[in-house]
Each structure stands twice: as structure tokens, then as C-alpha cells.
Amino acid sequence: MSRNLTADLAADLRMRIVDGVIQPGDKLPSENTLIGEFGVSRTVVRSALTRLQAEGLVETERGRGSFALTPPPSDTQPAPGSRPVASLEDRAKLLEFRIGVESEAAALAARNHSERQLHAARAALEEFTASGAHPAHAMKSDYEFHRAIAAATGNPFYSDCLASLGQTMIAMPRTRLITGGEHYVKEHFEQVVLEHESIYAAIAEGDGPSSSAAMRTHLANSRRRLRTPASGRRDES
């Protein structure tokens, strides 16, 4: 019986997240609120949240509550050869893939970019820098920055690759999504901005090796941040 209650609660919360009723970065109702709303036990609530964490829809921050992440697209048929990004491990493997693809893309962008493409990358970087207080906007402009670099390679296969991955590829750690003013969160966002600026500067200078190294460093850092809770402890999956 409790398994059915868990599934029902998880389904309700999942629908709220996918439909946008609960936006990326928003805090989910508290355990006590869910207990009262659904008439279930605390064990059921925690089991449902654990299920949503495994699906990559929710991150739980000890002492602060649970927060929504960007849901993977589910209303379209996946492209041949594509696979869902439904867990933390999937996101880590996606970052491994991106390190190889986007490091080379940055090097090509340094060599092949047009002024218009460079302007597009700069515009996305500026939008990202200004969006620190708006997690959903930050993820969109982050994605647009990486797409602009792919476009600047002059090779449409890079653009097609990032388009097929979609904005879900940016749905990374809780430190990007959870707002609240803690120093760590601000520090994390500022670090990502600096990494983006390093990538852009190297591309603008036409320095292929430095562009590739900057992109590799950024994505390797993203992989590390993915598994690091905001407290600095590595105690969550």
C-alpha cells in the first residue's frame, strides 16, 4: 500500500515540475505540508522525494528542503541514438562526453568564428552574467553560450549535436539552481562566469589551444561541482 502512496505522491510532484507549476530552482512544499496535503506518512514523503532525486528532477539540501531541477523533455519522441538524462550518473557521463566534443569545438571556434558569431557568444555571456538571481534564465543563457560556440566552429555537426542534447545538458548542480543568498552559491556562480569569460577571451583572441583548455577546465569543474553539495560535503548522490 505504501508503495502505491509513494508512486502517487511522486507522480503528482513530477507533474507539477514537468508542467512548470514548480519552476527550476523553486522549493518544493515542506514534508509537513505534503503530509497534510496527501494524508501520508513522513516515510512515504521521503520515499517519493528519493524517487524524484533518482530521476534527476529534485535535489534535496540538508536542512533547507527539496528543490526542483530542470526536467528532461518528455513530450517528444527521442531522436534515434539519443538517451534520457535521468540520474546524477547520467549527467556525469554527459559531461564526460561534452568535454571531448566541446573542447574541440572551442578550438575550432577560435580559428573559424565570424564577428557576428563572436558577438552572439558575447551577448549570451553577458546575459548569463546578469542572470545570477534567476536560475531558469541562467540555464537558458548558459546553454545559448555553448550553442554560440558550437555555431562559431563553422561545422554544423557541432551545432546539431548541442541542439540534440538540448537545454537539459545545463541542468547541473543544486548550487546553480538553489537561491537563498548563501556565500557559497554566489561564489559558485561567479566562478562559472569567470570560466565562461576565459573561454570567450581565448576564442576572441583566436587562440585555439587556450580555448580548448579553457573549455576543458570549465566542463571538468562542472563535473566536480555536480557531485559537491553546497556545504562542500560529498555526501549526496
Backbone angles phi, psi at 67, to 5 degrees: -130, 145
* Total domains, the chain: 2
Mean pLDDT of the chain: 81
User: Is the domain of 135 the same as that of 198?
Assistant: yes
pTM: 0.66
User: Is the domain of 211 the same as that of 95?
Assistant: yes
Q: What pLDDT does 176 receive? A: 46
Q: pLDDT tens across 211-233, in order?
A: 999 999 999 998 888 766 544 43
User: Is the domain of 221 the same as that of 130?
Assistant: yes
125 domain-assigned: yes
Find out whether 67 and 36 touch, Cβ atoms under 8 Å. no
Amino acid symbol at 26: D
User: Is the domain of 12 the same as that of 113?
Assistant: no
Q: What pLDDT does 85 receive? A: 66
User: Is the domain of 59 the same as that of 93?
Assistant: no
Residue spans of alpha helices (H) in the chain: 2-18, 31-38, 42-54, 88-112, 115-129, 135-152, 156-165, 174-177, 183-204, 208-226
CATH code, 207: 1.20.120.530
237 domain-assigned: no
pLDDT score of 75 more than 50: no
DSSP 170: G
Q: What pLDDT does 84 receive? A: 64
User: Is the domain of 12 the same as that of 95?
Assistant: no
16 domain-assigned: yes
Backbone angles phi, psi at 68, to 5 degrees: -80, 140
User: Is the domain of 64 the same as that of 104?
Assistant: no
Q: What pLDDT does 109 receive? A: 97
* Residue 63 pLDDT class (50, 70, 90 cuts): confident
Q: Which domain holds residue 122?
A: 88-226
Q: What pLDDT does 184 receive? A: 46
User: Is the domain of 169 the same as that of 92?
Assistant: yes
DSSP assignment of 53-115 equals HHTTSEEEETTTEEEE-PPPP-SSPPPTT-----SHHHHHHHHHHHHHHHHHHHHHHHHH--H
User: Is the domain of 20 the same as that of 97?
Assistant: no
Amino acid symbol at 60: T
User: Is the domain of 24 the same as that of 134?
Assistant: no
Q: What pLDDT does 148 receive? A: 96
User: Is the domain of 112 the same as that of 63?
Assistant: no
Least confident window among 17-26, 118-127, 141-150, 187-196: 17-26
151 or 178, greater pLDDT: 151
74 domain-assigned: no
User: Is the domain of 29 the same as that of 64?
Assistant: yes
Grouping H, G, I as helix, E, B as strand and the rest as coil, residue 160 is helix
CATH code, 50: 1.10.10.10
pLDDT score of 174 more than 50: no
Q: pLDDT tens across 179-201, in order?
A: 444 444 677 888 999 999 999 99
168 domain-assigned: yes
* Residue 39 pLDDT class (50, 70, 90 cuts): confident
Q: To the nearest 10°, the Cα dihedral for 17, 18, 20, 26?
A: 30
115 domain-assigned: yes
Which contacts qualify for 6-10: CB closer than 8 Å, 24 or more apart?
6/44, 6/47, 6/48, 6/51, 7/48, 7/51, 8/38, 9/34, 9/38, 9/40, 9/44, 9/45, 9/48, 10/48, 10/51, 10/52
Q: What pLDDT does 230 receive? A: 46
81 domain-assigned: no
pLDDT score of 125 more than 50: yes
Residue 112: Cβ-neighbour burial (10 angstroms; 0-12, 13-18, 19+): middle
Which of 36, 68, 100 terminates a domain? The answer is 68
119 domain-assigned: yes
Q: In angstroms, rounded to a whole number, what is the distance separating the alpha carbons of residues 179 and 101?
A: 31
